[in-house]
Structure formats: structure tokens, C-alpha cells
């Protein structure tokens, strides 16, 4: 009975996982749109052993918390399998974003693997708004590295952190 109660309690909860290194306006767009579908959202900041992040886990979670003030989200870090993280929170809905066809191949494989690991897991794909179709964390870091304009790419708190990381000089 407790499992049913927990599942019912989290029925309108979803998890949006990623490395968010750093969070961009594209991510924020997906978060806002996911909150139109779900009452609550956990932003799960994952460790990816295949990536060397620019920002520490603490920096990433802090930037996300600041960038999402006023939204019904919680921000948590995790390592290991996303399905285990979802089970821990009694959640069976995952949000994934798609920008291009190349994203679909990877995301589709991940969705099938997650369902293979836990048959109750459903993945909801949200298309990135056309305004952010080109945007990625990697692109934002590259622009910052080359001291380009960041205001249309990342929230102000993230812009400040990127500039500090790359010793950005005001022009």
C-alpha cells in the first residue's frame, strides 16, 4: 500500500536530467514547458564520466537553483543510473529535450535502455523552441572562451560565472 501511496503522491512529478554544464536558456525553456505538463520537476544534475565538466557539481546545482527561482523545481545531483535516481524519488517520468535529428538517435537509445532497466519509466520528449534550436552548453562555453556575447545564451548568473572562468575582460 505504501508504494501505491508514494506513486500516487508523485504522479505529477517528472525528472529532467542532464549535465547542465552550464544551464542555458534552452534548458530553461524546456523546464518552463515541462512545468506546463507536470506540477513539479526535479532537475537532476548528473555526473557523466565521459565528460570533463567546466563547472563543479556544486557550481552547476547552485547556478540552476539561482536561474530557476520562482519555478516549482528542486535541484539535486546524482551519479549512477537515472532509473535508480527516479525510483528513489518514486517518479516514472523523464523529460528529455530534442534539438536536432542527431539528438534523437542518442535520446531514443537512452529512452529504450531506461525502459529496459525499469518497465515503468516513460520518457517525454520536448522539442526545443526554435529560438534555442542551435544552443548547447558547449556552444555557450565556446562563446565565453572567445569572449563573445552571452546574454542571449545563458541567464545573467551563469554569464557572470562563465566570464569569471575564462577571465573575460569587459570590452
To the query of whether residue 89 is one of the catalytic residues in this protein, the response is no
To the query of whether residue 165 is one of the catalytic residues in this protein, the response is no
Helix axes 156-165, 137-145, angle to 10 degrees: 50
C-alpha cell at 94: 523523464
Give the dihedral sign, CA 159/165/169/171: negative
Catalytic residue among 9, 51, 88, 152: 51
d(CA 83, CA 61): 20
Catalytic residue among 32, 99, 115, 165: 99
C-alpha cell at 25: 536558456
To the query of whether residue 51 is one of the catalytic residues in this protein, the response is yes
Catalytic residue among 27, 60, 93, 161: 27
To the query of whether residue 137 is one of the catalytic residues in this protein, the response is yes
Catalytic residue among 97, 137, 141, 161: 137
Residues taking part in catalysis: 27, 51, 99, 137
Amino acid at each position: 500500500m505504501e508504494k501505491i501511496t508514494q506513486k500516487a503522491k508523485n504522479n505529477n512529478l517528472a525528472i529532467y536530467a542532464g549535465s547542465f554544464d552550464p544551464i542555458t536558456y534552452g534548458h530553461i525553456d524546456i523546464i518552463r514547458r515541462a512545468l506546463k505538463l507536470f506540477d513539479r520537476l526535479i532537475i537532476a544534475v548528473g555526473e557523466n564520466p565521459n565528460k570533463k565538466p567546466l563547472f563543479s557539481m556544486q557550481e552547476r546545482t547552485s547556478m540552476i537553483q539561482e536561474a530557476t527561482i520562482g519555478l516549482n523545481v528542486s535541484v539535486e545531483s546524482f551519479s549512477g543510473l537515472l532509473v535508480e535516481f527516479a525510483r528513489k524519488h518514486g517518479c516514472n517520468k523523464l523529460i528529455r529535450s530534442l534539438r536536432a535529428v542527431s539528438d534523437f538517435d542518442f535520446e531514443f537509445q537512452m529512452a529504450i535502455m531506461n525502459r529496459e532497466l525499469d518497465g515503468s519509466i516513460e520518457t517525454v520528449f520536448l522539442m526545443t523552441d526554435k529560438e534555442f534550436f542551435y544552443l548547447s552548453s558547449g556552444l555557450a562555453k565556446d562563446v565565453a572562451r572567445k569572449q563573445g556575447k552571452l546574454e542571449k545564451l545563458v541567464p545573467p548568473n551563469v554569464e557572470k560565472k562563465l566570464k569569471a572562468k575564462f577571465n573575460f575582460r569587459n570590452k
